[in-house]
Amino acid sequence: MKMDFSIEETVKTRSSVRSYLDRPLPVGEKEEIRNYIAGLSNPFSVEVSFHLLEKNASAENLGPYGVIKGASDFVGATVAPVELGLEALGYSFEQLILYLTSLGFGTCWLGGTFDRSGFAAAMNLREGDLFPAISPIGYSQEKRRVMDSMVRWAAKSNQRQPWDTLFFKDDFSHPLTQSEAGDYVVPLEMLRLAPSAGNKQPWRVVQDKDTYHFYEMRSIKDSKLGIDIQRTDVGIGACHFHLAALERDLPGRLVKLAKPEIHVPEKMRYLFSWTAT
């Protein structure tokens, strides 16, 4: 399904917003967001649940701690602990973030710096569900606060790794050139620009003829809750890749294959593949 907004433009416009105007979302806009969420699906066919929350008198202890200022609306996402669950959550949540960006709202993925127990209580989590992240939704302040700029500086948020460390041909010893990527230059570039926890960019892709294998290069350990946030990151990257491929009418599908026979460096894990059809 093609989006009603330009993926390339929206990916390039989005950046994490941590400073918000003290203004709640209007009821009409909230309804639109709710409808968009109701229509969300992902190519992994895993159900992802979204919870829209407002900081008000009945939820006064919802507060993301420190890094976020001014927001009063939030969305949290949960998924059952199933195969490709965290990747599916990353995909669907990022599609929502891009939609919100296209409407002009500020957002910021938060996997660590928020009051997890306050949000979990307000969301009525199902036993065993994984709850990796939330995002504020709101009106960005024009000027970033010092705290915001410090977080961006620490994570080098304005930078991304170059092509030759992320994308490969046949195996992990041959970087993929842009001319070898052909029609997939733009989907891969959109993937490269995706947000990730700590800006670690754990996605690696190996092109094997018409198939693109997606791997996770682990650099962050599982959280105490047993969540590998970097699988969510690769789902976010896959969302950018897939939506950009759809925008360019490149047919294909995301599937988990038997492990490709490619020698993998240490800490690298195969997740899923895009097969052009």
Please give the residue ranges that form the binding site for ligand FMN (CB under 6 A): 15-16, 67, 108-113, 133, 151, 155, 157, 195-199, 229, 232-233, 236
Cβ 171 to ligand FMN shortest distance, Å: 28
Tell me which residue of 252, 170, 183, 181 sits closest to 213, measured CA to CA: 170
Q: Compare residues 67 and 186 and give the one whose CB is closer to ligand FMN.
A: 67
Q: Which residue has the tokens 């500086």?
A: 153
Q: What gap in Å lies between CA 166 and CA 168, rounded to an integer?
A: 7
Q: Compare residues 244 and 250 and give the one whose CB is closer to ligand FMN.
A: 244
Q: Are 274 and 257 in contact (CB under 8 A)?
A: no
Q: Compare residues 69 and 256 and give the one whose CB is closer to ligand FMN.
A: 69
> Structure tokens of 141?
């302040």
Q: Compare residues 66 and 265 and give the one whose CB is closer to ligand FMN.
A: 66
Cβ 14 to ligand FMN shortest distance, Å: 7
Q: Compare residues 187 and 202 and give the one whose CB is closer to ligand FMN.
A: 202
Task: Give me the torsion for CA of 158, 161, 166, 167, rounded to 10°.
Answer: 90
Q: What gap in Å lies between CA 109 and CA 115, rounded to an integer?
A: 14
Tell me which residue of 218, 156, 212 sits closest to 188, measured CA to CA: 212
Cβ 97 to ligand FMN shortest distance, Å: 9
Cβ 272 to ligand FMN shortest distance, Å: 18
Cβ 91 to ligand FMN shortest distance, Å: 12
Q: Are 76 and 134 in contact (CB under 8 A)?
A: yes
